[in-house]
Amino acid sequence: MYQIFLTKNAAKEIKKQGKQFKTKAFEILQNLALDPTPPLAERLTGELDFIYSYHFSFAGTSFRLAYTIDKKNISITVITVGPRENFYKILRQKFK
């Protein structure tokens, strides 16, 4: 089982979305701890090829959860969570 860590940004984004979203995010994180590369996740390409993106919907909106996997330390670090709109553009800006 992988250990889950949240960046300050990821924790803030989850909290900002409300209690029901927080419950949904917690459920997703529990599943990622068991299987960090499920079918709803994809490894990004190009300059962000070290990041995985988990796709899910909440309240009719498509969301993405970006994370990295550290197989050596058996851990996952959640970088950010947010609506699909402009998600990858914002993510690229974080790593320039």
Q: How many CA atoms lie within 13 A of 95 on its CB side?
A: 13
Instruction: Dump pLDDT digits (tens) for 31-83.
Output: 999 999 988 899 999 889 999 999 999 999 999 999 999 999 999 999 999 99
What are the structure tokens assigned to 51, written together?
A: 């990041």
Q: Domain ranges for the chain, please list them.
A: 1-92
Q: Which residue has the tokens 């994370």?
A: 67
Please give the pLDDT value at position 11: 94
Domain boundaries 1-92, CATH class? alpha beta
Please give the pLDDT value at position 10: 92
